[in-house]
Amino acid sequence: MEGEEKKNKYSIIIPTYNERLNIALVVYLVFKHLPDVDFEIIIVDDGSPDGTQDIVKQLQQVYGEDRILLRARPKKLGLGTAYIHGLKHASGNFVVIMDADLSHHPKYLPSFIKKQMETGASIVTGTRYVKGGGVHGWNLMRKLTSRGANVLAHTLLWPGVSDLTGSFRLYRKSVLEDVISSCVSKGYVFQMEMIVRASRKGYLIKEVPITFVDRVYGSSKLGGSEIVEYLKGLVYLLVTT
């Protein structure tokens, strides 16, 4: 295990859009919580007008351009393609995907890595729905929708994972490459499609509890159109996986 720890490298892909105020904090905290781990941070910025990229360049001066990679894209092109874009530049054998807005705290990263090493899992996914995890900033309506969506998905899809739409995950790089190429959905459904396809392909998936503090700098978004998209995604997964 010790030996494996030495040669593993983790590429942390963080898609950003207008995260000027958060990205430096996230980067600092990643470095703080992974002191003895070989990793790189790949920031995929979709042309933020707020100067996110300037901050990232400052961070590169502090930490080195080999640890912080800025792989910008000209405009907002969607989350799924952001991961694919970041993945192209990843040199690690493991890839971590997380949000830049501090709703995912980097202090959970060691538990992802530990879980992967203990179990040899291909995917470790953060779950908000077990003991030790949790959510903050959701009103009753949001909780109700989330629960309804979850029960529906579990009844219909039998995915074997408690948190389908979470986006704080660790993947073996080859597994992410394999799964992501067959995913076409967007938004919430994209995360669900990734984990369901991985589960169908027989990859070992383990979970660790995480907390999720919703959108510190923004308002949460879950309207009627998202629900329709979710239901469409559910049907799509039913007939294609």
SS3 of the chain: helix, strand, coil, percent, to 5? 45, 20, 35
For the segment 142-161, give every residue that binds other proteins (CB under 8 A).
Answer: 143-144, 147-148, 150-152, 155-158
Taking contact as CB under 8 A, which single stretch among the options 35-43, 92-100, 110-118, 132-140 is the one that binds other proteins? Answer: 132-140
Buried-exposed string 153-180: b where 16+ CB fall within 10 A, e elsewhere: beeebebebbbbbbbbbbbbbebbebbb
Q: What is the DSSP string of 202-219?
A: T--EEEEE-EEE--TTS-
Give me the amino acid identity at 79: L
- In the complex with other proteins, the residue whose CB is nearer, 85 or 99, is 99
Asked if 111 touches other proteins (CB under 8 A), the answer is no
On whether the CB atoms of residues 103 and 212 are closer than 8 A, the answer is yes
List the alpha helices (DSSP H) in 89-223: 109-119, 140-157, 173-180, 187-200
For the segment 195-234, give every residue that binds other proteins (CB under 8 A).
Answer: 200, 211-213, 216-217
Residues forming beta bridges with residue 9, ordered by sequence position: 38
Output the smallest distance, CB 122 to other proteins, in A. 20
- In the complex with other proteins, the residue whose CB is nearer, 151 or 228, is 151
**Which one of 5, 62, 65, 76 is in contact with other proteins (CB under 8 A)?**
62
For the segment 160-199, give every residue that binds other proteins (CB under 8 A).
Answer: none
Asked if 32 touches other proteins (CB under 8 A), the answer is yes
On whether the CB atoms of residues 1 and 117 are closer than 8 A, the answer is yes
Query: Which spans of this chain sit near other proteins (rule: CB under 8 A)?
Result: 20-21, 24-25, 28-29, 32, 54-55, 58-59, 61-62, 102, 105, 107, 128-137, 140, 143-144, 147-148, 150-152, 155-158, 200, 211-213, 216-217, 237-241
